[in-house]
Structure 1
Amino acid sequence: MALLECPPNQQGKIGADMKTYDVVIIGAGAAGLMCALTAGYRGLRVRVVDHANKAGKKILMSGGGRCNFTNLATTPANFFSGNPHFPISALKRYTPHHFVELIERHGIEYVEKAPGQLFCAHSAKDVVAMLLTECEWAGVEVSLSTAVKHIERLGDGMQLEIDGARVEAGAVVVATGGLSIPTLGASGLGYDLARQFGLEVTETRAALVPFTVTSQWKTSLAALAGLSCPVAARCGDGQYQEPLLFTHRGLSGPAMLQASSHWRPGIAVEIDWLPSIPVEETLRKLRQEAPRRHLGTWLGEVLPKRLSQALLQWQGWKDRPMAELSNGDIQTIAQGLGAWQFKPAGTEGWRTAEVTMGGVDTDAISSKTFAVNALPQLYFIGEVLDVTGQLGGFNFQWAWASGVACGQSL
């Protein structure tokens, strides 16, 4: 959506129907609603606008509909940014425990599915309902199915055209999110706004996204579709020990989603199929203690049977007794299981990506207030910024923390 400045003959004119707010927040997602309720409780007149027909659409679909709303182990090290120091201030001021207190005040039951990862026990709808209830209590006006068409600076404030009406605001907060999952309404609106006001936008790419494979691998991997197993995945400077999932299109699961944040075209992803087993030592011991045992039998015990058979075929390993394995054979097998490599054809892209890597360059933004340094009546929060979390609730914690920090500074 293009954001155009108003014609010169209309600039500065305020009609009788002009509405005035202390702050207009563009985006009714996690960061936008959190900022709105924080500012509303401070007595500010706040309006949230979003072109979507529902608030918090990404919250609703997250975590399989259960919303992994935070991670108790959140630290700045869990985030990617061109300016790694930028998230520190907000994350320190609003911690996962603060959000858990809010969840508990509303009586929302939650579970810890993996260490530190908190999910709603019932439905992500509980989180959205909580945020909207808080906004209502704070006197926030939420306008859905509402489009922002024009925005410009007006003296010490801002002026917008919202669904054909002229609106004046002391400040505008951009909480539009990134480009991931366009079917939920994602767009480049926030980046367009940033560029309109002279801000840099770093390269954006799909992250926390499944990998696709070349046609030569697709048939082999498709035969394993639905199979999951724990692995250690390495890509670039990232290493993660998480489950991997085979799909009809390629490789997914937490291990691959995490690796995708480090991946660039042409780079190989390395997989250790047995991260908890010292393969070379184990095979040497088996050769001595169970010389008649076959390699395929052992693989079928330590890996899903379909995968063990596939690995024998992919690696060209003969299913033979342990006694026939030389030291060189054992080293080759250990290397093949511990450092299996593939080069993805690509990723599934924005359609299924959970987040956007890159965004509005934070060098131009205050890490304390989230205001644009050169234009203090304009703010950017949440995923639209060049701050991206790892998988596991970290991106929601960034939304809450940046929203609160901004709301407190308005």
Structure 2
Amino acid sequence: MEDYDVIVLGGGAAGLMCAAVAGQRGRRVLVLERAAEVGRKILISGGGRCNFTNIHTAPDRYLSANPHFAKSALSRYTAQDFLTLVERHAIAWHEKTLGQLFCDGSARQIVAMLLDECAAAQAQGGHVDIRCGEDIAEVAHAGGRFDVTTPSGTRSAPALAIATGGPSIPKMGASDFAYRLARRFGLRIVEPRPALVPLTLGGEDVLFRELSGVSAPVEARCGRAAFREAALFTHRGLSGPAILQVSSYWRPGDAVAIDFLPGMAPDWLVEAKRHAPRAHLRTVLAERLPDRLAATLAERIGLPGDLGNLPDKGLRAAGQRLADWRFHPNGSEGFAKAEVTLGGIATAELSSKTMEAKRVPGLYAIGEAVDVTGWLGGYNFQWAWASAVAAGTALAERGA
């Protein structure tokens, strides 16, 4: 049996970061990854360029049963801290929109950086051993040690970090392993749901599927959450950044409200009537929206003829509907298309400072496995980095 100081289950963003931090502080760390290579979600993120953080990271951009839980880790390892690491590795980057930071080149640069950080442990008296293609057959806990068995053997350590993520994007090998393992140790799970996921339409809304491929900048709202980004009509319903964002707040039965012309004055159609009385509603909409979308909205509103012949009251009502168009999704595209998972290992079970389970000394949970879910745009990677650093630091201090 091989002995280590720490065993990390999962070689994704959180797992590799945790291993690097603990290893560089003198710990012998083993990373076990089920897939054939580490960092598979990193490699596909951001269209292959990895949206590795967001400069606007703040706790209020995260969803959790305990909205305060993420504050500690996020304040102690910030987006600027990770950006400093990226620049130290000479990785060129750029800000795209809304504080989202991407590699100029390839997401592989982020994976290579994390592997280099793990390798740097050697010079600090530590060691990080990364093994891929390792299916976990059994995890046993007795006498203050965790024994992890895979087809290639059993390894033991006094500390175990769960970094296997959630079930989103199963084609990448994602599963609910983290939750099953956590339950075995008596940890409570907040019901996992798909997040940052396209929504599907049925009923009367199904007609909008005919606009598949049409995109427009909108403001999408669900409850108190509102996001001004692009929405995309698909052959199944609604997608695009604005929709992915509100999907994290949506529950079955909720309506999603869309303002197709955010920023327009309430009386803008009345003003348009005065300036162009012979124009039709479809025409003035097509000046501001894609033609196919303008035609569909005008048809559904049902105000034919010249604007000059339409009553101001009817035009105001049309403007109000365009600013608060209600869709009633009948579901989402599920974990298969979800970028992340909402819910997970309950934060009430963990220390917000160390990510250690309160009732199981030596057991840690980090990253997407935990009930902390960020907005679209690099926030979930920043949670992975921050929670991993919190755990990695604490792991290095165990027994020190």
Quick check: 1:240 aligned with 2:214?
A: no
Aligned pairs (5 A) from 1:127-276: 127-138=110-121, 139-214=127-202, 217-218=205-206, 220-276=207-263
The counterpart of 1:41, out of the listed 24, 33, 48, is: 24
SS for the counterpart of 2:221 is strand
1:307 to 268, 271, 293: 293
Name the counterpart of 2:365.
Answer: 380
Calculate the aligned-residue CA RMSD, in Å. 1.2
Asked whether the equivalents of residues 269 and 316 of structure 2 are also in contact (C-alpha less than 8 Å), the reply is no
**Correspondence list, 1:17-56, <5 A:** 18-56=1-39
C-alpha separation in 2, matches of 1:277 and 1:347 = 30
> Equivalences for 1:288-327 in 2 at 5 Å?
288-318=274-304, 320-327=305-312
Letter aligned with residue 384 of structure 2:
A
User: 2:276 is matched by which residue type in structure 1?
Assistant: A
Structure 2 Cα separation of the partners of residues 135 and 88 of structure 1: 26
Report how far residue 171 of structure 1 moved. Answer: 0.2
Partner of 1:375, secondary structure, is coil
Deviation at 1:353, TM superposition (A): 0.2
Unaligned runs of 5+ in 1: 1-17
Shift of 1:374: 1.2
Residue aligning to 1:93 = 76
Q: CA deviation at 1:156?
A: 2.2
Quote the Cα distance in structure 2 between the aligned partners of 1:42 and 1:157.
21
State the 1:54 CA deviation. 1.2
The Cα shift of 1:380 comes to 0.4
User: What SS class does the counterpart of residue 160 from structure 2 fall into?
Assistant: strand
How far residue 166 of structure 1 moved from its aligned partner, in angstroms, is 2.1
Aligned length: 390
Amino acid of the structure 2 residue aligned with 1:85: H
Aligned to 1:3: none
What code does the residue aligned with 2:356 have? Answer: A
Deviation of 1:164 (Å): 4.7
Superposition deviation, residue 216 in structure 1: 5.2
User: Given residue 299 of structure 1, which amino acid in structure 2 is its aligned partner?
Assistant: L
Report runs of 4+ in structure 1 exceeding 6 Å deviation. Answer: none
Give the Å deviation of 1:221: 2.9
Instruction: Give, as a single letter, the amino acid of the residue that structure 2 aligns with 1:328.
Output: K
Secondary structure at the aligned position of 1:371 is classed as coil
- Gaps in structure 2 of 5+ consecutive residues: 122-126, 396-400
Distance in structure 1 (CA, Å) of the matches to 2:311 and 2:263: 23
Q: TM-score scaled to structure 1, two decimals?
A: 0.93
1:5 corresponds in structure 2 to none
The alignment status of 1:360 with 2:348, answered yes or no, reads no
In 2, the alpha carbon distance for the partners of 1:215 and 1:121 equals: 43
Q: Distance in 2 between matches of 1:238 and 1:294?
A: 34
Matching residue of 1:7:
none
Pick aligned residue for 1:340 from 325, 329, 337: 325
- Deviation digits for residues 67-96 of structure 1, max 9, x if unmatched? 110000100000000011110000000000
